[in-house]
Every structure is written in C-alpha cells, then in structure tokens.
C-alpha cells in the first residue's frame, strides 16, 4: 500500500533523529502512553490478526478477487503492529519501533474501509436494482474515495511521527493532526454507513427476505462490519480529542475493548461470509417505491 512505504520511510527517519530533551528524562512510551504495553495482550491480538489474514488471503486467492485483498493486507499489517508492540517495553525510547507499531495499528483500518466500499459497490452493481440506492458507487468513485483515505492516512502518519519528539508542544501538534485526519476519514464513512442503512430499509420495505437471496448475508455482514468500524472511529476520535495524557490514551484496556476487538469482529465476519462467493449475477428485484 502507498501509505506503508511512507510509514517505513518516516520510521527510518525517526530512528536517526535526536529528540528534544525537555521531558524530564521520560521515554517516548511514558510521554504518550504513561504505561508499559502488555506483552501478552499484544501477542494474542497480533497472532489472531495474522491468523485472520491467512484465512482471508486463502479466500481471496480461491476466488481470484484482487479487489478483496484490502482486507487480508489490512489485517496482516495490524497483526505486525501488535507483534512490534511486544518488544516496545524493552525499547521504550526507540522512535522507530514506536512509530511503526503506532501507525500500523492506527492506519491499517483504512484498508477495511476500502474493502467495505468495494463490497457495497459490488452489491449495487451486480445484485441490486438502481432504485434501491440513491448513490451508485461506480469503480471510479470507489477508487477516488480510497485514494482520499490513503492521502488522509499519510497526513495522520506525519502527525504520528511528531509524537516521538519529546516536546510537549510538538506532541500536541502531532495529536491534533492525527485527530483532524481521523475526523476527515470518519465523516464520509459515517455517511456511507447511513447509505447502507438506507438500502437495507428499502430492501425490507419491498418485502424481500434477505435469507432467500444469495447475496442477502453480505448485506447484513456489511452493516454489521461497518457499525463496528464506526464504533472504533468514535473511540479513536475521542481518544485523540483528549490528547496525550488523556484517560483513554493512558489506559490500555480501552484500546483492546473499543479498537482491537470491534475491528477484529468486523473483519472475521467476512471469513464465513466471503463477499465474492455470495455476490453473483444481478437478481431481478421489484423497483423500490420509497
């Protein structure tokens, strides 16, 4: 992915930069987190995400769905981020390790957004009558939205890198940049989630039983996954709005309860309900009257 190469470049740069010492001798981890990351929790999370990515890669390869690679790649990157987090307590002042794990965990969900955008586009194109959706996400529009998300992710990368400089003022600037990036990324996805609800309501109003349609489980999986991703973005926005030293950022439990777990559930739902398997030829549906 484009942002991954940028992340690695920033990480390499961060490893060579000498931080400003106005922090009373505190390490990067102490300044940003104020706790030592739990190695066991990081190992479990990293292993589960990597296992999930293996299953999703197998699914994508079996169906030869290149557009679906966003999901396993995103899951793999988060898994790597958590594995890096395991060694962070032993290297609390390593800017390269801190930036790598922070941004892999923070930015990889952009790939999940991209995947859900594509799932909706495939549904609207191949399974639904145009009257069910006021907005048709054609391939060009989908790629535009995804490119915008990656551009925003690059901005968040810059903000995340600023956090490694042990300066209170620089850290605040970095947090603000990440917060703005998260808000801009979450806003269109919130509208997308409402669009999915709109389509779902129209299908139900037409008296169509999703259980009787081949593509029915994917509509439900898309709504379920998008709701969990939206929950994660709300958590992240509140976390960064509180800033470094805030309650959410300094209590690791919430990272796993409101970020790691919701995202994981929102991803694994696609293992049994793999969209390319269910999204087939267009079904003849009655026109929506709503």
- Reported as a single tens digit per residue, the pLDDT across 152-167 is 555 555 444 445 544 5
Outline where the chain has alpha helix (H). 2-16, 28-32, 39-63, 70-87, 95-107, 109-126, 139-162, 168-205, 216-242, 252-255, 261-268, 275-278
Residues of the chain with pLDDT under 50: 1-22, 140-141, 144, 158-162, 165-166, 286-290
Rounded Cα gap, residues 71 and 108, in angstroms: 10
| Confidence (pTM) | 0.82
Rounded Cα gap, residues 242 and 248, in angstroms: 8
- Reported as a single tens digit per residue, the pLDDT across 2-45 is 444 444 444 433 433 333 344 567 788 887 888 999 999 999 99
pLDDT, position 138:
52
Cα–Cα distances (Å) from 243 to 8, 159, 275, in that order, read 25, 12, 38
Rounded Cα gap, residues 47 and 80, in angstroms: 9
Cβ atoms within 10 Å of 81's Cβ, excluding its own: 22
């Amino acid at each position: 992915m484009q942002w991954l190469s940028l992340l690695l470049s920033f990480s390499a740069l961060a490893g060579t930069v000498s931080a400003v010492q106005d922090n009373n001798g505190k390490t990067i981890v102490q300044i940003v987190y104020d706790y030592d990351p739990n190695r066991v929790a990081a190992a479990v999370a990293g292993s589960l995400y990597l296992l999930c990515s293996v299953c999703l890669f197998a699914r994508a390869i079996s169906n030869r769905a290149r557009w679906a690679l966003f999901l396993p790649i995103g899951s793999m990157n988060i898994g790597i981020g958590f594995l890096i987090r395991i060694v962070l307590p032993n290297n609390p002042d390593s800017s390269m390790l801190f930036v790598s794990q922070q941004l892999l965990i923070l930015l990889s969900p952009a790939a999940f957004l991209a995947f859900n955008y594509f799932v909706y586009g495939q549904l609207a194109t191949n399974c639904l009558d145009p009257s069910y959706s006021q907005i048709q996400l054609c391939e060009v529009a989908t790629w535009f939205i995804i490119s915008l998300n990656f551009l925003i992710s690059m901005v968040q990368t810059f903000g995340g890198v600023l956090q490694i400089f042990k300066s209170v003022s620089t850290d605040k600037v970095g947090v603000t940049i990440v917060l703005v990036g998260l808000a801009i990324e979450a806003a269109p996805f919130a509208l997308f989630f409402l669009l999915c609800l709109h389509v779902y309501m129209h299908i139900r109003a037409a008296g169509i039983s999703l259980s009787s349609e081949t593509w029915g489980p994917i509509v439900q999986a898309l709504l379920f996954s998008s709701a969990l991703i939206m929950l994660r973005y709300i958590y992240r926005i509140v976390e960064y709005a509180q800033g470094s030293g805030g309650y959410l950022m300094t209590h690791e439990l919430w990272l796993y309860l409101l970020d790691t777990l919701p995202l994981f559930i929102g991803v694994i739902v696609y293992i049994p309900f793999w969209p390319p398997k269910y999204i087939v030829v267009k079904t003849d549906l009655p026109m929506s009257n709503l």
